[in-house]
Structure formats: C-alpha cells, structure tokens
Structure 1
Amino acid sequence: MDAPMVYDLLKPKTVDPNKVYPALFLIHGIGSNEQNMFPLTAGLEEKFFIFSIRGPISHPPGFAFFTIEGYGKPHRDVFKQSLSQLTQFLEYASDRYPIDKKQLFLLGFSQGAILSMSLALTLGKKIKGIVALSGYIPKIVSEDYEIKPVNELSVFISHGELDQILPYEWGVEAQEYFRQLGADVTFCSYKEQHTVSIQNQQDFIKWILAKSGIEEGE
C-alpha cells in the first residue's frame, strides 16, 4: 500500500524487533514543510517513531493542509479532504510500522494544531494525546462530524498571549471545549507571538514523556 501522504520518519537507531513503540505524528503550519517540525521533538527520537507529514497543497515557500475562505474559517471541502487523508495516514503508519496503536500522539503548530484537535475529536479513543500549539477548533468539526468521546484523551494546548495571527482567546476557548468534554487538559500560555518558545518546547516534551509513561533519561 502506498502512503496516502508524503512524510519523513525518525526512529530509534536500534529498533527491537520484539517491541512496539509509541508514535508521534507531526503536522506543520501553513507555508512550512515536514522537515521544519523535527527540531521541536529533540529528545524523543530514541523513544518514539516520529512521523512528520507534508501538507498536500503547495503554498510557497512550503505547503499547507487546507485553504481558508475567511478569518478562522477553512474551506469546508478542502479541510474535510485533508482530515480524511490524515486519518488514512494514521491507519497506514499503524499497520506498516511496529508502533503501539494505544500510544498515538499528535503534535501540530497553527494549521497542524487545528488539525490535531480536529482529529482528536473525530477519532476519539484512537488517539492517546495531542499537543496543539497556537490553534483553534473550527466550527466545521462540530457542524459536520460526530464528536467522539475524549474522556480518555490527554491534551496539551498552548498559545501565545501576543499572538497576532490567531487570537489568544481562541486557544482559551479550545481548552475550555476539551475540558467540558471530560478530556485531561493542560493549558499553557506564554508571552509570545505566533511561535513556539524554548520554554513551550521544554514543557510539551516533558508532558509527552509523562503521558506516554516514559521517564526522561530512559
């Protein structure tokens, strides 16, 4: 089976054939690419299979996962197509590689955060945890999809208080939405714009290790 999306993979240097590994799927922001996300995962490459996925739409200097028709409003059909492709990719990777299907994590920035939260809401228990950096939950998800139970989901949402691209309030609203649904939510805010600070990175790396049951230094 051919991969439904272009991707790159980082995996432990030595893979134990008798073991399955937790998986981390990286989803980049608009105009970026699959390579730009890997630096955010420093410290996890020997513990996880890390898949970085390229958006299917050309958006120089990089790629995008969907287009928008208005502020905070993705084009419905394009968004649904991308969400479907990403769902297929998770299934593809789970079947092709020695990964633990009970330990699937998503990490996304901006568009990637939007899609990570949307996938968690539409896939429910298939996802163990998500890291959503500077995103929001589009109305398309609640209007067009059945929202699956997320009471076993772990969620890390962060947003810059000075974000000039996607308002800080949207991050607040997203974490409140997940809390209302019973998810285990960690919300962090930073005196930053639309970016990922070193502190933010350190915080979510510790969070991922804790939620996956892997201690730092193992």
Structure 2
Amino acid sequence: MDSSMIYELRTPSMVEPNKTYPALFVMHGMGSNEQNMLSLVAGLEDVFYIFSIRGPLSQPPGFAYFTIQGYGKPHREAFDQGITQLTNFIDYAAERYPIDQDRLYLLGFSQGAIVSMTLGLTLGNRIKGIVALSGYIPRFVKEEYRIKPVDQLSLFISHGEFDNVLPYEWGLESKEFFLGLKSQVSFHAYPEGHTVSMKNQQDFTKWILDDLHA
C-alpha cells in the first residue's frame, strides 16, 4: 500500500524491535503546511510516532485539505476527497509502521481540527483520542455522513473566546455534538483569537499524555 500524501515523521529516539507505539496524526490549518505543526507537538515524539500530514491541495502560501465555498461551508466534493485521502493515509501508516492500533490519536488546528473531528466521526472508536483546536463540524457531516459509534472516543476541544475566523460558539457546538454521541469531552476556552496559546499547548499536551495512560 502506498500513500500519495506528503508527511513529516517523528519517532521516539529509541525504537525497540517487536514493539508497537501510539500514533499521532497531525493536521495543519488552511494555507499552512506539515512543518508548522511540529513545534506544537514537540516532545511528544518521545512517546508517539508522529505523522504531520500536508494537505493535498495548493493554498498559497501553503496547502489545504479542502476548499471552501463560503463562511463555514466547505466544497463538498473536495471535502469528501480530503477525508478519503486522510483515511487512506491512516491505513497506510498503520500498515507500514509499528503503531498500536488501539492508541491512534488525531490533532488538528482550524481546518486540521475540522478534518480531525470528521475523521473521528467516520472512523469511530477506532480512534482513541482527538485534540481539536479552533475548529467545527460541517453541517453536512452531521446530517449526511455515516457516523460510527464514538462512545469510547475522548476529545480535547479548545477555542479562543475572541476567534474572528471561526466563532467561539462553533467550538461549543462541537462539544455538545460529541457529548450527545456519548464521547468523553474536555472543553477549554482561552482569551485568545484564532491561534494556539502556550497555555493551550501545555493543556492539550498534558491531556493527551494523561489520556494515553488512563
């Protein structure tokens, strides 16, 4: 199995043979790239195989996983294709690398958070945890996608209270949607705009390590 997606891989410094490791799939925001997310997860490579995945679409000055037709409205065809490509990449990584199938995590900012939460819904309890930073769930995903059981899924959802790109209320809606599906949700608000503060980074790093060892 091959992957058409470009990615940066970070691994523990000492990888032991015949051992599997938890995996963290990292998705960037629109117009960004796979390099920009690595500083957010610095240190976690001591524990995880980290796959920072470049969006397949050109979006100067960087890349994107889908295009948008309006405020909060992804182009459906591009979005569906992006989700399919990311799903195939997770399958590819699981086949090629020594990762623990029971400890798969997703982390994304903005557009990366949107696809992370969508993948959580479509892959269901195959995913152990999601860190969704400043994103939302598209309406057509909620209403038309085939959603799998997520009662074993844990999420860290955060949003800036002064986000002028994706409204804070959309973060609250994501929390309520997953709670309605019986997921375990930890919601965090920060006095920030559309960004990830150092406090936010510290909080999700602690959360993901705690969840991993729960």
Q: TM-score, normalised by structure 1?
A: 0.96
What is aligned with 1:132?
Answer: 132
Task: Return the letter of the residue paired with 2:116.
Answer: S
Give the count of matched residue pairs: 214
Per the TM alignment, residue 3 of structure 1 is displaced from its structure 2 partner at its CA by: 1.4
Per the TM alignment, residue 143 of structure 1 is displaced from its structure 2 partner at its CA by: 2.8
Instruction: Tell me how far apart the structure 2 counterparts of residues 185 and 2 of structure 1 sit (CA, whole Å).
Output: 34
What is aligned with 1:144?
Answer: 144
What is aligned with 1:47?
Answer: 47
Instruction: Tell me how far apart the structure 2 counterparts of residues 199 and 95 of structure 1 sit (CA, whole Å).
Output: 35
Per the TM alignment, residue 146 of structure 1 is displaced from its structure 2 partner at its CA by: 1.1
Instruction: Tell me how far apart the structure 1 counterparts of residues 79 and 144 of structure 2 sit (CA, whole Å).
Output: 11
SS in 2 for 1:106: strand
What is aligned with 1:66?
Answer: 66
Say what the alpha-carbon RMSD is for the aligned residues: 0.9
What is aligned with 2:20?
Answer: 20
Task: Return the letter of the residue paired with 2:35.
Answer: Q
Instruction: Tell me how far apart the structure 1 counterparts of residues 177 and 71 of structure 2 sit (CA, whole Å).
Output: 20
Instruction: Tell me how far apart the structure 1 counterparts of residues 106 and 197 of structure 2 sit (CA, whole Å).
Output: 19
Task: Return the letter of the residue paired with 2:85.
Answer: Q
Per the TM alignment, residue 142 of structure 1 is displaced from its structure 2 partner at its CA by: 2.1
SS in 1 for 2:104: strand
Ranges of 4+ aligned residues in structure 1 off by more than 3 Å: none
Task: Return the letter of the residue paired with 1:112.
Answer: G
Instruction: Tell me how far apart the structure 2 counterparts of residues 142 and 181 of structure 1 sit (CA, whole Å).
Output: 11
Instruction: Tell me how far apart the structure 2 counterparts of residues 28 and 187 of structure 1 sit (CA, whole Å).
Output: 20
Structure 2, unpaired ranges of 5+: none
SS in 2 for 1:36: coil
Task: Return the letter of the residue paired with 1:26.
Answer: V
What is aligned with 2:211?
Answer: 211
SS in 1 for 2:29: coil
Q: TM-score, normalised by structure 2?
A: 0.98
Structure 1, unpaired ranges of 5+: none
Q: Deviations over 1:4-32 (max 9, x none)?
A: 31111000111001210000000000010
Percent of residue pairs identical: 64
Instruction: Tell me how far apart the structure 1 counterparts of residues 14 and 46 of structure 2 sit (CA, whole Å).
Output: 8
SS in 2 for 1:19: coil
**Contact 1:4-1:88 within 8 A present in 2 as well:** no
Q: Deviations over 1:118-166 (max 9, x none)?
A: 0001110110000000000001212331111110000000000000100
SS in 1 for 2:201: helix
